[in-house]
Structures are given as C-alpha cells and as structure tokens.
Amino acid sequence: MKKVIQKMSFVVFLLSTTLISACTQSLGAVESTQTASNAAQGPMDAKEIEAFANPLFAEKMKEYNVAGSSFVVVRDGKVIVSKGYGFADKEKKIPVDKDTVFQIASVSKTFTALAAMQQVDAGKIDLHGNIEEYLGGLKIPNKTGKPVTMYDLLTYTPGFELPDETTFTGPQYIGQDISMDEFLPKHMPTVIRPPGEAYTYDNTGFLLAGYAVEKASGIPFAQYMDEKVFKPLGMASTSVRFKPELLKRMAAHYDLNGEPRPLEGHAPTDGPQGSILSTAEDMAKYMIMQLQNGKFDGKEIVSQKSMELMHSYQVFAEKDIPITTVGFENYFPEYANGQHVVLKGGNLPGHCSLMVLIPEQKTGFFMSYNNDSMVSADIYKEFMDHYFPETEKKAEPVYLSLSEADAQKYFGLYQNTRAYWTRTSITYENGSLVLEGEATGKQKLRMIHPLLFVDEAGEKVAFKEDKSGNIKYFYYTTIKGLSLVADSQKMEMKKTYSDVPNSSSYKTHINNLSAFSIMGAKSGSKFDPTGTMTQGEFTDALIKAEGHYVMAGSEDGLRQQLAAGIPNLNPSAPIKRQVAAAMIQNLKQLEPVASTKTKLKDTADAWAKDAITALVSQGIVDPDTKVSADGSFTFRAKALLKRQEASALLDLAFGYYSLPIKR
C-alpha cells in the first residue's frame, strides 16, 4: 500500500552497525564463540539467533521509537525462532507474541501473485494474454496500443499514469463493504507507457490482478484466499478482511513520535494490493511453503514452475541491478552480500512488515512492528551481515571518460513515474554528468559503461534507451528521497513558444513547467507570458507543481492547505502576487534562511508578509524581483501575477533544484 521511505543516510546505517556490534560483543566469551561458530553456518540454533536478535531489537526499537515487533526465522522447513519484542499496546502493557495480529500491507502482494499463479497453473489465466479477458468486461483505458498482461501486473510494469489512483485507506472505510466491482470502474487509471517498458511500484496492478483471480475463479477474492491459500497452509489467523477475532489481537498503531494513531481500512474492502492481516506464526508457514517450492505439509499450493517465477528476477535496471520478480522486489540490493534474496515490505499508517527469503539457503525471516519507521531495513542489513557476510569484495570498477558531446543524450529533466514530485535534472560539468534533485542535491556521476553510472556516494544510476537509442528512463538506487520506487522518465522539452524570445529570463522556467505539463500554451503556440491568471488557474498549476496530487485522495487536502489563512479567495478572480506567494508557502512550509537578510519595501497584507520573505530568502523569486545588497526588495505584492512570473515561482519552488530549502 502506501510506501513510506524515509530520508536515511549511509551515516545512519554505519552508526547502527557500530552500535549493534558493541551490544553483541557484550555477551560472555563462551556464548560469543558459539555465536560466531554457528552464525557462519547461517541461522540454525535458536539460542544463537536469540543471542544475536535480542540486543539488536532492543537497540533498534529504541532508536526508531518502535513499541513492539514480531520476529520469526525459518530454515529447512522448520521454525527456528518466533519471538515478540516490546508491546502490542504500550498503554495496556500487552506484549507482542507469535499470535499478535498486524496489518502486513504490501506483503499482501506476494499472496495475490501466488493466487494469480494458481490460476495460471489451472489454465484459467494466460500469464501473457490480455488481462481484459479476465476482468468481467472491465476495460482499461490504454493509449499505447499494447495490451496489459497478468505478467505486467505482477512485475510492476503495466505502465499506468497514476498507479496510486486506487490506493484509498482511512478509518472511514472500516465497517464498509466496498466491492471491487463497484470501486474499479470509478477509479481506473490510464496506461500511458507501453506495458513492460518501465518499472513503477504499482498498487493498481495488484488490485487488478486480484480482481482477475476473482473473475477467473468465480469466487470472491477474500473467500478464494481463505479456501485456496490460507486454509491449506493452516493460516488460521490470516485474512483479507477485518474479522472480529483478529481485531481483538491486533497490535495498536503508533506514529513516529510514539503517539497512537487510528486503525485504517481500505477501499475496496478486499484489497489484493495490501489488506491482509496476519501473525508471525502464520507467516512462518507461508515462508516455509515458499522455500519448499510451493509445497506444504505434503500438498502442492502452487507449481514449482510458478514458484520459480516468483523467486527469479524478471525486471532489471541493469544486469547487476535486479528490481522485481513475479510479486517480490529487491530494495537495498547491496545488503544481500552476494546472496540471491527476494523480499517484500509493506507499510500502512502505524504498521510495517518485511519478509526476506533466501531460497538457495532455505532460509527466511519475517517481522511486523507498530510504527512507520524503516527499522526493518536495519534489521535486514544486520541479519545478512551476521549470517551471510560478503565473502568476495567486488573490485573497484574502471571508470570511463565522457565527453560533453557524448553526454548530450542524457541531458534534460526527468520525473519519477510514481512519485511525480521527485524530479531530476541531468547536465554536464568537467567530464562528468551532474545529477541534481531536491533530495540528493548535486551529484557528479562517473561512467562505468554508457548506460551505468555511479554517484559520489557509490549509488548507481542505470539508464534505459528506447528503440532508437535515445535515453528514456533512469533508475537510481539511492535511499534519499523516493527514486527507488520507480524509473524516472525523461520529459520532452518544448523548444520554444512563438511569444517567448530566447533572450527572456523566464524562458527556462517556462520550458521546465511545460515539460512537466504544469503550464503550457495559452493558445496555439503562444504561452502569453505577460498575461494574467485567475486564482483557480494558479491553484490548478500549483497542485500539479507540488506533485502529490497523484496519491489517491490527496488533492482535496492540498487545496485546503494552500488556501489556509488567505481571505476572500475566489477561483474566478485574478490572482495577485501576494496570494500566489502565500499559497506556495502554505504547501512548502519553508523556514527563512537565517544567513539571508530580507526586507520587504512595498506594502503587503499581514497574512502574506512572512510567506513572501520566506520565499525570497530561499531564492524562490521571479527574475524581475531584484534583491539589494542590504536584503531589501520590492515584491509588487498587490500587483496581478503574470504567467511568466508564475512559471518562475513554481519552477523554483517545486522543480528539481536543491536550493537551501529547510523545512
């Protein structure tokens, strides 16, 4: 479901490793010797695993403010350890145990993939056939001419314009019964990229996959999962729906500050993309089946052929950067230490989960915990370093030189195909590509080969060409920002508007916004740079520039937020510059740069002054607003906003620039 990826640095990971090493080394000498000896063979001994895990969870849960977590390790068809740490409900002092229920969120996608492959095994779904044949008459708007297949859905490559248009969660959906039949026709996004072409983390794809299972089998999805998956696996505490007996055992939900937050339900009620509830004990059975090639307790749940598709990578950013299997993913590939690992994480407000499988070692672990942090990433890294340390250090690559002429094909603006607010510029400087984004700042890229580069932190940038050899996408492995969740697509730049001369100081801003489809021609080939805008027109452009409108249900909240504190708004009225500044600041919430003195010389209304000075101190100012050496400036606060001025303010505030931006 909603993926929350925090901006964590490698410093945090390195610091965490040091802290855990210190904790582990505090064990007795005999126990330490046993731990080192057993760990070299992988997780096999319960006492050794607990000696490793107990201080690790204690340290990490404190660091990330996690109230409680489950943890289960399986190997060779057996549960080695199943533990609970901390509290399922810290107010009531209810501890986490193997029977504590969590919302496993997007880990549900692996179950949906399993169900879909069962239908493929049964001959009821053609994995590579047009998915519309299995949707009961539901049509998918498609601008590409290439049909979407079940394979595309399960490998996160269907090409939807708004992959989160169907991701509705909230307390208001608890107790409702919203069918997929009712929901999908009202919320169907359009396919705008050829299916199979680009990776985009996609909730809609798995919702449709589950809907196809329902239609092909003739059994409602929740019932299907109960009868064909959960019951054969003995998963008595697992359900697609909120069953009363499971809600009684559900862990409380907390935010990053440890404050309680409400349970959230789903629309539609049966959510193949993320609505499953489960326990550590049940998930152990699921992992054992996965690691036994689809067999459990003498029964074949799914064919070995299908399981091989679930465990082998199908989509790659580059041959050494696998991204997805059928159902699983590969975030943080460097943590695998050379092992073949498939994993799936899941996040819903207040609950997170992670399942890690190492098929060749017949080993897996699962954890669920009750806040929104990424503590699971640290646990995964420490688990792999402890039990499957890297045995071969990779040789430092030989970097190739890059001329400015050869670099031209990479130049341009890119937009993440899921998180539209994640935008990047690529240029050239002194023999290197320069990547610039708000989350990463400026990064020089060194070339390993013409489609693979490395940034200054060692993270990889893999480019993809179209059939004509033009650069079309890149994938960036950095954990800063949200680049991990999708390929970023190169945007088509408008060369010129007939009424915007090359000498215009606004030309770049106008072209940037045009590339992102935020503002375009007023009529024909004319931008109308000195024309004015209504408040409604600017609001629409601002919502697009901010970018989070692509998340289902977020646009109404953004519109309310941008209007806060501004009196007498009227969508049809012309917009003044002070109103535009206040709207931008309402969404950006920027702090004035302390080292930059600013003094507004002209008259502005009291509700707009702080917004104007905050933006100007950040450098978010149109070219015609000059700031003197002493920091004084005239903003023309009550003048009408021109379209070219709007383009500059929106480009600077929401484009790719790093700027000071301190929230």
- Indicate whether 256 belongs to any domain: yes
Contact 317/323 with Cβ under 8 angstroms? yes
Q: In this structure, are strands 632-633 and 599-600 parallel, antiparallel, or unpaired?
A: parallel
Same domain, 251 and 355: yes
What are the angstrom distances between the C-alpha of 287 and each of 292, 356, 499?
9, 9, 62
Same domain, 178 and 276: yes
Same domain, 358 and 214: yes
Domain that includes residue 532, residue range: 507-654
- Indicate whether 341 belongs to any domain: yes
Same domain, 356 and 416: no
Tell me the mean pLDDT per 10 residues along the chain, length 663.
32 27 31 50 94 98 98 98 98 96 98 98 98 98 98 98 94 95 97 98 97 98 98 98 97 96 96 98 98 97 98 96 96 90 96 98 98 96 96 86 96 97 95 93 96 95 96 95 95 88 95 95 94 98 96 94 97 98 96 85 96 94 94 96 98 84 54
The pair of three-digit structure tokens given for residue 268, joined into one six-digit string:
């539609």
What is the predicted pLDDT for the residue at 631? 92
Domain end among 387, 417, 450: 387
- Indicate whether 21 belongs to any domain: no
User: Rounded to whole angstroms, how far apart are CA atoms 453 and 659?
Assistant: 24
Same domain, 464 and 551: no
> Which H or E element spans position 386?
helix 375-387
- Indicate whether 399 belongs to any domain: no
User: Rounded to whole angstroms, how far apart are CA atoms 499 and 615?
Assistant: 28
Q: Which residue from 491, 492, 488, 512 is spatially nearest to 500, judged by alpha carbons? A: 512
Same domain, 356 and 383: yes
Domain of 462, CATH number, reads 2.40.128.50
Contact 629/596 with Cβ under 8 angstroms? no
What are the angstrom distances between the C-alpha of 83 and each of 154, 366, 387, 467?
32, 11, 18, 52
Same domain, 153 and 282: yes
Same domain, 343 and 415: no
Domain count, the chain: 3
Packing angle, helices 46-63 and 10-24, rounded to 10: 130
Q: HSE (CB half, 13 Å, CA atoms) of 27? A: 21
What is the predicted pLDDT for the residue at 348? 95
Domain end among 387, 418, 453: 387
- Indicate whether 452 belongs to any domain: yes
What are the angstrom distances between the C-alpha of 573 and each of 537, 564, 579, 640?
10, 17, 11, 10
What is the predicted pLDDT for the residue at 661? 66
Packing angle, helices 535-546 and 643-654, rounded to 10: 20
Domain end among 455, 490, 525: 490
What is the predicted pLDDT for the residue at 391? 85
Q: What is the pTM of this model?
A: 0.91
Domain of 222, CATH number, reads 3.40.710.10
- Indicate whether 51 belongs to any domain: no
- Indicate whether 245 belongs to any domain: yes
Same domain, 271 and 369: yes
Peptide bond into 185 cis (omega under 30): no
Same domain, 605 and 479: no
Beta strands in 450-550 (DSSP E): 452-454, 460-465, 471-476, 488-490
φ and ψ at residue 283, rounded to 5 degrees: -65, -25
What is the predicted pLDDT for the residue at 40? 64
Which amino acid is located at 481 in the chain? G
Same domain, 173 and 264: yes
Same domain, 107 and 155: yes
- Indicate whether 610 belongs to any domain: yes
> Which H or E element spans position 426?
strand 423-429
